[in-house]
Structure 1
Amino acid sequence: MLKVITVDDEKAVKQGLRKIIELHCPGFEVVGEAEDGLEALELVRLHNPHVVITDITMPVMNGIELIARIREWSAATELIVMSGYDDFKYAQEALRYGVKDYLLKPMKIESVSKLLNGLREENVRRSAELERYRSCLWACTGIVEKLAEQLWLLDEAGWNGSLTAISERIGGDLLTDDEKALLYADLTAYLRRQIRERGLELEDVAPTERGSEDLFVRNVDHAADVIRANRNWGQRVAIRNALNHIHERYHDPELSLEEVIALVNVSPAYFYKMFKEETGRNFKTYLIEFRLDKARELLAGGQYKTYEIAERIGYPDYPHFTKVFKKYVGLSPSEFRKNMGIF
């Protein structure tokens, strides 16, 4: 239900509005009524309404001041002003504060229902667009986490595959050009954070006229150049062997740090230092993140139940898996799957 607050110093006006909304505007609910702007502000902060319908001329605080104060507090609230013919110039003034529309008194059922029902349809459309954007963002951030790991390990074939996966996901989600540009900007910032957590800072890459996807690819290339210049990957064969072993055995719940160190036959102190330098993570964090990356892939695929996925990535204790997943991902497995559009 979309919440509505009405504001007018005449009780009959508010009663008439409530009746019209209840009978002719499905999907809306009047959650508060105020006699002046000051009282209305308290109700707005209490209810965070979707719509405020306010008169212009009122005691204590008039409608123009009220909508200005509301707009300072919330950019999302839809504002509608009511006015008589004598106040028409004030209604026009209100438009500069982002007022959606105005209603002339005495109000007609057709005018109110047409305006509010139009708002409802617009809200449904925006909600669908937002859900599509959020779903795409969640899917792509998971790929970017893998991309950051591939960059850090200088796995060029791997990160090119991730770039293709991101491009295909964004291209298939019917996003507008502005939404794509915003999405690529968000993913760039997320990639920089992933690399920063591993100890390297990335500089801004100057945009060109070739588009947001091209800029994202050039940021990835820049990240690869920075990593190459700051690391001596390949000189520590023991760590490469350790990573290969982890990638092959991550699904085994018994896989341990001691097992890996014994396999590569180096001292624990050397292993701790070199592993952190090469991966940007300690062994425990690296293993958890690698397992969760696999979990996200399986959740996105939709072929397995969540408890089956937990077992497949080395977590036979399902409650422990869900706890770890939410801690690192920010959502429970079921919430993540829902955001991916899989129910």
Structure 2
Amino acid sequence: MPKIVVVDDETIFRRGLRAMIASWDPDWEVVGDARDGYEALELLQRLEPDVLLTDIRMPKMDGLQLQTIARERFPGLLCVVISGYEDFSYLQQSLRSGARDYIMKPVERDELTRVLDRLKEELRARKAAAPVPLIAKDDRMLRQQAADQLVAGIMRGSVGQQHLDLLSQLGIELGESYFNCLVIKLDKESVERERYRQSDPSLFQLYIQQFVQEILDHRMPGFSFIFSETEVAALVNMPGTDMAKLLEIAESIRRQMKSLSNLTVTIGVGRPVKGFESMTIPFREAGIALLYRLVVGGDKVLDYRCAAQGQEFKPDMKRWSWEALERAVSEGRRDEAERLVELSITELCSKAGTPELVHQQICKLLIHFYELSEDMGLTDGWLGGQDIRSLLVEICSISSSRELIDVCRSLLGRLASGIASGSKPPEREPIGLAEKYLEKHYHEPITLKDIADKVFLNASYFSTLFKQRTGKTFVERLTEIRVEEAKRRLASSEEKILSIAETTGFANIRHFNRVFKTETGVTPKEYREDVRSRR
């Protein structure tokens, strides 16, 4: 007996269709009905029907969106759409997306029975021959494999050509030079609490993933995938470092999600990097940007560049107090760090004006130290396995200044101790962290202010401190790192000199040739020829 689920936002039509199907052919079993796409997905997962009969125009999740997700999740399901004459363009999209047939409103008994008879024959033939089409199943499995491998690669901090090859098999070609990442998170408060509690959370994630992929397919090369139980990620391919188009796409995702499904999402956006192997960097940055949701609220696009520079926060408190605290923690001076926590938070509570501003500033500070601990590999020891998100939620629930001071003293004192006893001396203070950052990001356009902001120091103070600790200016050290990398590539690869210039951070080939000769006494070409002649 074939099973069918009916979906329409009007109760009278659902009942009418149920009665019409039951009176015509007792072989059909209407196993459930739903008023929108969300309810329908829950029924499809629980009841596993053979046929989905759905209206196109519905609130929250319409028939097209439902069909898109159902096709991915239930490849053997047959879909029939019900459409009014004014929805003909939607109907065309639905048929292109694989709908088996359509019925026009008002639904006539003869038309409905014609469609059902045809579907019953198709189901009988399918049962007698091969079940679910292998191509659809293989495609679904390949997408899942690509997503699983990307998640694993990101968690390891290592992605490479094998991931691109898998995406290519899916028809997703990422041929541009630059890559970036979006991390999209559902704002749970935009869903009725009871609905979310009763639903399978993966249905919401699947819907968001499909929604994002559909927009990317029309706007920018990319691949969306479910990264965790609460996050969807999108890898995007860009021709350059201009972020305007990507931010516009992110805003379009946020706006359309809210308009079409009455759901809100918050989207973190990283910074573009050159080369697919560096894609883990913008992913991490997008995740950090997303943390600022606790400070500025949800239903927003959060750009890591703005978040890292504090542009999302108003008003800003005196920077010197945080800089002194930053130095004490990063240099491993626990007693001084705890003393400065007390002074700084006492001042903050007296001048901020509202509890919200106090929480905003402290969350901002803790996110910064989270980045610091991540760079130094100390996060697990510092937080004892606690997730940074849950920590920030706890901070925002504290209403006593004394309790806030005690919690932050303990946190930052513990981090200072971890840094003091760490096994990586160059990374115990801001200059060590700056050196590490330069070694990882030398190929990007970096300014002294960028690095100073990264280690939470005033640019002038950072410049003086950097020269004192390293014996070189910031520019001299950056140039040294770039030239050393260029020498390595010239000696060990067949890469073109122009390509080496571009990927080691030089503005153009002329600038590269001039700086390289100043540093080494020979041109890049002469250096390569000399190295090879001595082999």
What is the TM-score with the length of structure 1 in the denominator? 0.37
What is the TM-score with the length of structure 2 in the denominator? 0.24
